[in-house]
Structure 1
Amino acid sequence: MATFDGIIGAVREGDLIAHFGNPLIEQRRLASGEALAPLTDRVLIEVAGEDRLTWLDSITSQSVARLRAGDSTELLVLDPQGRVEHAAGVLEDGSSVWLIVDDGDAEKLAAWLQRMVFRSRVTVTPRPDAALVGFFAGGAAESRTTASAPNGVPLIWRDPWAHVQPGGHQYAAEAGHPAADYSWSIAVVDDAGSLAGPFAGALAAEALRIAAWRPRWAREVDDRSIPHEADWIRSAVHLNKGCYRGQETVAKVHNLGHPPRRLAALLLDGSDVVMPSPGDAVLAGDAEVGHITSVATHHEDGPIALAMLSRRAPVGELVVRAGETLIAAAQQVIVPADAGATADVPRLTRLSRRPAGEDPRHAR
């Protein structure tokens, strides 16, 4: 994994570069396009070979068969029950597909892909030493970044979360989705030590991600997650492509059912010095209705969080239990309780509701 050892002033938490002294200032600079964020918690996987696009298309949730050089998208790998197993950003450069993966998922995803090759003309190669930096497009940070281009196309992934992708669907009902200006990009660079500041740490990048309601494998995914719960069909699922593992669940929930849980954004009471942690319980009255998945301090909104809630959790004020402290939380609905059931299927009258004595075989 790239260490970015040449960057001075980094405050580290293990391998993660958390900040450079002032996360809120870094956050403003990052949001304005001025700062670069070294991403030591992401890993690059290269998928090469003539069949790479059609092969990935057949085993993942996204339609990638017709990607052209320079195109970016996102995919999920689902289990047979439609639960999320892996997630990756996707960048095609004309010769290889480059997958950008959370570090905790990279080894397992690469191993699974290698097992799925069979007779396809594909090679899967993890690139753990690749240096990745994040920035918001259109600012000074992008102009200071020279991306690696091993096959002639600069390796810059453009996060598709800003807009509903072809074949996707948005459950969030907000007229002004907070992702509209989320022009997050990730570049692969050859020489991490030569990068020029200002820099921003992971705390800044995470706060802006949470504010954009953007799900992430390392935070929002557990062993029960399906894409609908986090509004992930918006960017990572193509509803009209061919068959793939887990497709039946995706279609059934989207067309006929409702996801059992729903992602919500929380604006936390900042009057207490205590901040919740991922996994902390979310309460409605005395009942536990979900848990925190991500939390940060935003430079404008203060303490914010994402939470995975039961579909039946009430809309309105909630409480987060952080140890012995109870924190009031104003809820912003991301995935509404009635998400899904998009197919206009007429309901059949149950036999038990027919008039007494009526034989259903002769009903008109």
Structure 2
Amino acid sequence: MTVVRDLHEDYGAVFEERGERALPRHFGRPARTQRAVRNAVGVTEHAYGVLVVTGEDRHGFVDNVVTNAVPETDGEGVYALLLEPEGGIRTDMYVYAAGDRLLCFLPPETVGEIAEEWRDSIFLADVEIAEATDDFAVFGVHGPEATEKVASVLHGAGAPDAPLSFTRGEIYDHGVTVIRTDATVGEEGYEVVVGADGASDVLETLITRGLNAPPFGTQVWEALTLEAGTPLYPHDMAGRIPNVLGLRNALDFEKGCYVGQEIVSKVENRGRPSKRLVGLRLDGDAEDVPAIDDPLDVRVDGDDVGEATRAAWGGAVDAPVALALVPYDSDAASATLVTDAGERDADVVDLPFVVGSDRSARAPRYE
């Protein structure tokens, strides 16, 4: 459950459930709000499950199980994956070094299971794992004017410059941590972390004070990230090898062993994965976006070659768009998406569809 449901309702939110939390799906007229974020700035609430890892061995403990090198310097963060033994993605997460603790931000539907598993794996290490999901609210400020927006309401600190770095300051007399994002929507972005007791004041301030920033929900978030070529968990990621998605920002091949590393390294050493992530652009308007509850077949010249994982209205390109996995060496310029309502012709597009004021660090890169 969001800690600011009443305020969301005041702005006309329609809710959805995710990981036992209710979050706004939209606030009405999502296509218009999507344009507002692309052109200026908007504010959303992000759904994270939060783990707090403390103890002298905290860094080595987390570093040993995730795919990226965990920072030790206060104020720095990293995007990382937790893999299955077979190399598929189990979950993604952001890990931040915050003084004498690590903060791990995970999808809310995975946090309870991961917390229990990590506690069972501690043995003799000096590590403690605490779940703190209900202690915090996390608000995203995204758009080409995001820096100006944050600067207009943040006191006691400047907006951080480096991706996944953070500073501490105040908004509306509440202590906050402000994180520079990795541009998941293809625009400048920040996340504002605040204790649950200050969440309503901070959200109201972000929406109404300084530069105006309309609220947006998960529907717009999913569309913006799709345009930016950002794969999301679980839709595009769960069970897939990270190399196939081009998630090079989540992998550090120089660090110590982690679960699934052998499989991922073999894919890397082979020179290329079996598939790659591309975009599909379809004809139609905002009412013609195909529903993708489960992956849909993608065909080229009548043959099933891949699958589409997610679709949305691409306001920046004025067309329905989708993410799809196709053979790595395919050079097809067009494909057919097989939907429950029939076949849809589509142009195959290299990702991202959009690079706005910044490029998503999670947009696929194949080397």
TM range (shorter): 0.7 to 0.9
CA contact (8 A) 2:95 2:104 kept: yes
Q: Among residues 171, 179, 187, which one is paired with 1:182 in the alignment?
A: 187
| Other-structure match for 1:11 | 14
TM-score, normalised on structure 2?
A: 0.77
Q: Among residues 221, 227, 235, which one is paired with 1:211 in the alignment?
A: 227
Q: Distance in 2 between matches of 1:204 and 1:251?
A: 35
Q: What amino acid maps onto 1:58 in structure 2?
A: N
CA contact (8 A) 2:288 2:320 kept: no
Q: Distance in 2 between matches of 1:131 and 1:38?
A: 8
Q: Among residues 27, 33, 38, which one is paired with 2:34 in the alignment?
A: 27
Q: How does 1:203-282 map to 2 (within 5 A)?
A: 203-223=219-239, 225-233=240-248, 235-270=249-284, 273-278=287-292, 279-282=295-298
CA contact (8 A) 2:35 2:316 kept: no
- Aligned-CA RMSD value: 2.9
| Other-structure match for 2:340 | 323
Q: Deviations over 1:260-292 (max 9, x none)?
A: 222111112115943222322222232222222
Q: What amino acid maps onto 2:54 in structure 1?
A: A
| Other-structure match for 1:134 | 140
CA contact (8 A) 2:13 2:24 kept: yes
TM-score, normalised on structure 1?
A: 0.78
Q: How does 1:1-364 map to 2 (within 5 A)?
A: 1-7=1-7, 8=10, 9-14=12-17, 15-32=22-39, 34-39=41-46, 41-64=47-70, 66-129=71-134, 130-136=136-142, 137-140=146-149, 143-144=152-153, 154-160=176-182, 181-190=186-195, 191-194=198-201, 195-196=203-204, 197=207, 198-223=214-239, 225-233=240-248, 235-270=249-284, 273-278=287-292, 279-301=295-317, 302-311=319-328, 313-334=330-351
1:2–1:143 Cα change, 3 Å = farther
Q: What amino acid maps onto 1:192 in structure 2?
A: A
Q: Distance in 1 between matches of 2:122 and 2:303?
A: 47
1:142–1:326 Cα change, 3 Å = farther
CA contact (8 A) 2:286 2:313 kept: no
Q: Distance in 1 between matches of 2:177 and 2:123?
A: 28
Q: Distance in 2 between matches of 1:285 and 1:236?
A: 34
Q: Deviations over 1:280-338 (max 9, x none)?
A: 22222322222222221122213111112343555210111221222221112359xxx
**What is the SS of the residue equivalent to 1:306?**
strand
Q: Distance in 2 between matches of 1:228 and 1:248?
A: 12
**What is the SS of the residue equivalent to 2:243?**
helix
| Other-structure match for 1:169 | none
Instruction: Provide structure 1 residue ranges, at least 5 long, that are not aligned to the other structure.
Output: 163-178, 343-364
Instruction: Provide structure 2 residue ranges, at least 5 long, that are not aligned to the other structure.
Output: 156-165, 208-213, 353-364
Per-residue deviation, 1:131: 1.4
1:84–1:17 Cα change, 3 Å = same
1:184–1:319 Cα change, 3 Å = farther
CA contact (8 A) 1:88 1:100 kept: yes
Higher strand share: 2
1:50–1:31 Cα change, 3 Å = farther
Give the percent of matched residue pairs that are identical in Structure 1 and Structure 2: 25
1:141–1:148 Cα change, 3 Å = closer
Q: Distance in 1 between matches of 2:139 and 2:180?
A: 12
**What is the SS of the residue equivalent to 2:322?**
strand
Q: Distance in 2 between matches of 1:148 and 1:160?
A: 15
